[in-house]
Chain A
Amino acid sequence: MTPTDIAPLVPAGASPTGSPQRLWRQLHRNPKTLVGMIILVPIVLVAIFAPWLTPYPYDAIYVGDVLGAPTSEHWLGTDLNGRDLLSRLIIGTRVVVGVPLAVGLLTLVIGVPIGLLAGYLRGVVDGVLMRVVDVFLSFPWLLVALGLAAVLGAGLSTVIVTLVVVYWPQVARVTRNSVMAVSESEYVTAAAAIGEPRSSIVLRYVLRNAYFPILVLLSSMLAFSILNEAGISFLGFGIQSPQTSWGLELAAGSTYLTAAPHLVIFPGLAIVLVVLGMNMFADGLGDLLNRQGRER
């Protein structure tokens, strides 16, 4: 799923003008962002300390029964090579956290400047850049994934590149729309009127006020990027052994659904949980954004 469908949900140019402290306070008060954080923070912590948390080495084969059901030694059972599923899911948190982080950063680095240019310069520049965005948006993401896997070889970095290719146009478009809305506001017009250089206006006002819609988009996007990773890995073009990810575990397990349902159920639940957490967080942010928009 691409965030093609998220962008219209994000109102352009509405931004809280408050301090980061205020934002933080709001995140705590909103039940959705709170639940989202309750789910996500432990997962991030697990990802950071993953190597110390695994009960068994994640790649050690035949530490338990082949396709063993959950037991007191192997809480989530074992896979086809007798590897401990819990340990593998714990190590997999690194992909779950790392892929969205990398994708998020890179899409910002690419999408925001392009969106800024289009939104601020308008005219021909905007026309050309937005057509480029349209072109990128018109490829189904899965085929982008397959094509890139063929060129670059399947693997973690290919997954990241794919998702950046798929997501940057969204960031660019939302940035542009926000910039357009914000730059029509009075204070920007005023700044231009007193002769402040354009670049300075962009940086000081526009960017600072447009960040919130981008943040909302980004957080939804990252949730989808986890599903994307799972889908790509399911088709065999994603993460490659000996690395592992929840999507890969789920894909591998689906071959043995009746013989070992735990191999499908646990990775699947893990994915649903983390994506739900991110969606909650994103949706809560969106609520804040809407409220701010109305207050202004």
Chain B
Amino acid sequence: MSPMHRRQFLTFAAGTTGAVALAGVLSACGGGSAGQDSTSGSTDDAGTTALISIGNSEGDPANLDTGMQNTFANLSTVGSACHAYLLYLGADGSLEGDLATGFESESDTRIRFDLREGVTFHNGRAMTAQDVVDSFERLMNPDGGSPYAALLSPIETIEVVDDLTVAFTLNRPYAPLTALCSQIPIIPIETADQQATAPVGAGPFQFSAWETDNYMAFTRFEDYYNQDYPKVEEIRFLPRADATALRSGFQAAETNAIAGFAWPEMEALGALPGATVGTSYINGFNFISFNCRVAPFDDVRVRKAFSLALDRELMAQAENGPDASPAHVLIAATSPYFPADLQAPFDPTEARALLAEAGIPEGFEVEALIPDLPLLRPLEPVWQSLMADVGITLTTRLLPPADYVARVFTNFDFSLGIAGDSSAPDPALFLDRYLMTEGANNHMGYSNTELDALLSEASATFDEAARADLYRQAMEIVVEEAPIMPFIQIPVNTAAYEDAAGFTVRPNYLFEVRDAGR
């Protein structure tokens, strides 16, 4: 049981307000995949927190191996607490040293990483340069089923230069590699087979128990390379896919922090004593995409008309409240490559004209697919009403997210739909997958050789200004041809009590947990 629960229960039993969290005596509730008991054995000094629980709207991951399955549900939990990476992505989007202390581009196709000395894995073994090589190669294998395989394909070889140095040789210049390094978990390779159920890494917390649909527990890793972290003895993630369970757990102070609640709750949660609320915008988008293979969306005029009819500001506000700002391009506003002045125009009159020109009759009916996520539900009527304004009858169908992915991304069995995706913060990691003709996520079936050339050149360009210019040109094409229309950067609303201060969501959807607590 969690001490927070115990406190709550004591309040009930004794009728007094338990103000001090009890000691973090924990026993792994049996039956889970990990099983071994762990006791933090710590007692509370005044002002420190033994354990923090984080309610996670993403629910429970199916698989704890973040290298083989990178979902929000496992990145935010295992990815945040258990793993360390070559580079650390800060909440502000900056890349800092993590297991690597630094890197240097020896040429356009060769990068050298200097590794940190004295890093220990949770299984007690010291990290070597070979572990870095093995960790990358595990995910590079094209038959291995890792979602990173395609993104890592520019890597030709990784070699151990010496105990504390590895060098990546690339088959082409590849600018996004460093950003990607903030998301490839470095593991002791002998634990590869157990990563799915009992992950082992070099992160601030070590895995202690996973009871599916109940909680995932991690305890402080005493040999973490940075002795300032973590700040608490134990951290637990509670999967709370149900909005009521997520919110009421925080209101009842059973969780110290939650992520992913709906914006209207912001005010009430922020008013709780000691609670602060905020919104993190991650490096990803909610977007509308078209199946460009089938009529009428094979006609650029129709897509453009749908784009002109889309009031992105209204959509953004429907999703995350009056303060939300819209997105017009698939590059995050915090990115150095963000073309700030490029906007997709909203012009229903022009939209009607284009539809008429394309021969789309008034009252044309089309079915849009939407993944059934509570945060997307308010978008449905807004989008329907915007389309009705230009004479389009939009029927919508909500699908369980897994069904949505299978239909839209695997079978291309759709006309248009709303979806969301994110990446580590380099534009190439998102754009190349979605917009290149051969891109792994190009479910739109969109192909534009000029765009392909721009994107290829951009991912091989290291000069920031030159790269920004290439992405600007690419985004102009996307706005003009509208195979995909982002309308908001994915917002994640968070709330935390003082004992979990410092908890935020980083741009790659990993939680900031090592700094959480007092």
Do A's and B's CB atoms come within 8 Å in the complex? Answer: yes
- Least CB distance from B166 to A in Å reads 47
Question: Are B382 and A255 in contact (CB-based, < 8 A)?
Answer: no
B267: chain A residues at CB < 8 Å are 259
Say if the beta carbon of B397 comes within 8 Å of chain A.
yes
Question: Are B382 and A254 in contact (CB-based, < 8 A)?
Answer: no
Q: Give A60's nearest chain B residue, CB to CB.
A: B385
Say if the beta carbon of A138 comes within 8 Å of chain B.
no
| Binary A-proximity of B385-404 (CB < 8 A = 1, otherwise 0) | 10000000001111110010
Say if the beta carbon of A199 comes within 8 Å of chain B.
no
Say if the beta carbon of B372 comes within 8 Å of chain A.
yes
Question: Are A241 and B268 in contact (CB-based, < 8 A)?
Answer: no
A155: chain B residues at CB < 8 Å are 397
B264: chain A residues at CB < 8 Å are 66-67, 80, 256, 259-260
Say if the beta carbon of B411 comes within 8 Å of chain A.
no
A260 to B247, CA, bound (A): 13
A255: chain B residues at CB < 8 Å are 243-244, 262, 374, 377
| Binary A-proximity of B360-380 (CB < 8 A = 1, otherwise 0) | 000000000000101001101
Contact of B381 among A61, A150, A154 (CB under 8 A): A61
Say if the beta carbon of A203 comes within 8 Å of chain B.
no
Say if the beta carbon of B265 comes within 8 Å of chain A.
yes
A254 to B244, CA, bound (A): 7
Say if the beta carbon of A189 comes within 8 Å of chain B.
no
Question: Are B268 and A258 in contact (CB-based, < 8 A)?
Answer: yes
A66 to B244, CA, bound (A): 19
B268: chain A residues at CB < 8 Å are 258-259
* B interface residue count range (under 10 / 10 to 19 / 20 to 34 / 35 or more): 20 to 34
Secondary structure call for the A interface: loop
- Least CB distance from A265 to B in Å reads 14
Q: Give A81's nearest chain B residue, CB to CB.
A: B381
A236 to B378, CA, bound (A): 14
Q: Give A153's nearest chain B residue, CB to CB.
A: B397
Say if the beta carbon of B318 comes within 8 Å of chain A.
yes
A81 to B314, CA, bound (A): 11
Say if the beta carbon of A257 comes within 8 Å of chain B.
yes
A236 to B241, CA, bound (A): 13
B372: chain A residues at CB < 8 Å are 236
Q: Give B394's nearest chain A residue, CB to CB.
A: A242
Say if the beta carbon of A173 comes within 8 Å of chain B.
no
Q: Give A243's nearest chain B residue, CB to CB.
A: B395
B380: chain A residues at CB < 8 Å are 241-242
Question: Are B247 and A240 in contact (CB-based, < 8 A)?
Answer: no
Question: Are B377 and A242 in contact (CB-based, < 8 A)?
Answer: no
Tally of contacts, chain A with chain B, CB under 8 A: 65
| Binary B-proximity of A142-172 (CB < 8 A = 1, otherwise 0) | 0000000010011100000000000000000
Contact of A81 among B247, B265, B318, B400 (CB under 8 A): B318
Q: Give B403's nearest chain A residue, CB to CB.
A: A150
Question: Are B398 and A61 in contact (CB-based, < 8 A)?
Answer: no
Question: Are B244 and A240 in contact (CB-based, < 8 A)?
Answer: no
Say if the beta carbon of A44 comes within 8 Å of chain B.
no
Question: Are B247 and A257 in contact (CB-based, < 8 A)?
Answer: yes
A256 to B374, CA, bound (A): 10
Q: Give A256's nearest chain B residue, CB to CB.
A: B264
Say if the beta carbon of A83 comes within 8 Å of chain B.
yes
Query: Which chain B residues in 223-248 approach chain A with CB under 8 Å?
Result: 243-244, 247-248
Say if the beta carbon of B384 comes within 8 Å of chain A.
yes
Question: Are A240 and B397 in contact (CB-based, < 8 A)?
Answer: yes
Say if the beta carbon of A35 comes within 8 Å of chain B.
no
- Least CB distance from B47 to A in Å reads 30
A3 to B376, CA, bound (A): 35
A81 to B243, CA, bound (A): 18
Contact of B396 among A61, A241, A254 (CB under 8 A): A241
> Given contacts A153-B397, A236-B400, A240-B397, is CB(A256)–CB(B381) below 8 Å?
no
Question: Are B398 and A80 in contact (CB-based, < 8 A)?
Answer: no
Question: Are B381 and A241 in contact (CB-based, < 8 A)?
Answer: yes
A126: chain B residues at CB < 8 Å are none
Say if the beta carbon of B447 comes within 8 Å of chain A.
no
Question: Are A236 and B381 in contact (CB-based, < 8 A)?
Answer: no
Say if the beta carbon of B27 comes within 8 Å of chain A.
no
Say if the beta carbon of A37 comes within 8 Å of chain B.
no
Question: Are B397 and A81 in contact (CB-based, < 8 A)?
Answer: no
A260 to B266, CA, bound (A): 12
Say if the beta carbon of A252 comes within 8 Å of chain B.
yes
Question: Are B382 and A81 in contact (CB-based, < 8 A)?
Answer: yes
Question: Are A252 and B377 in contact (CB-based, < 8 A)?
Answer: yes
A222 to B203, CA, bound (A): 56
Q: Give A149's nearest chain B residue, CB to CB.
A: B400
B378: chain A residues at CB < 8 Å are 80-81
Question: Are A242 and B381 in contact (CB-based, < 8 A)?
Answer: yes
A255 to B265, CA, bound (A): 9
Q: Give B396's nearest chain A residue, CB to CB.
A: A241
A67 to B399, CA, bound (A): 25
Say if the beta carbon of B276 comes within 8 Å of chain A.
no
- Least CB distance from B366 to A in Å reads 14
Say if the beta carbon of A59 comes within 8 Å of chain B.
yes
B247: chain A residues at CB < 8 Å are 257-258
A58 to B122, CA, bound (A): 57
A60 to B389, CA, bound (A): 12
Contact of A154 among B243, B382, B384, B398 (CB under 8 A): B398
Contact of B262 among A236, A241, A256 (CB under 8 A): A256
B243: chain A residues at CB < 8 Å are 254-256
A153: chain B residues at CB < 8 Å are 397
Q: Give B317's nearest chain A residue, CB to CB.
A: A66
| Binary B-proximity of A39-73 (CB < 8 A = 1, otherwise 0) | 00000000000000000000111000011000000
Task: Pick the 4 closest A-B CB pairs, nearest first.
Answer: A259-B264, A255-B243, A236-B372, A80-B378
30 contacts between A and B (CB under 8 A): A59-B381, A60-B385, A61-B381, A61-B382, A61-B385, A66-B264, A80-B318, A80-B378, A81-B318, A81-B381, A150-B403, A153-B397, A154-B397, A154-B398, A154-B399, A155-B397, A236-B400, A240-B397, A241-B377, A242-B381, A254-B243, A254-B244, A255-B244, A255-B262, A255-B374, A256-B243, A258-B247, A258-B265, A259-B264, A260-B264
Other contacts beyond A255-B244, A258-B247: 15, CB < 8 A: A59-B385, A60-B385, A61-B382, A80-B378, A83-B381, A153-B397, A240-B397, A241-B380, A242-B395, A254-B244, A256-B243, A256-B265, A257-B247, A257-B248, A259-B268
Binding site for B on A (CB under 8 A): 59-61, 66-67, 80-81, 83, 150, 153-155, 236, 240-242, 252, 254-260
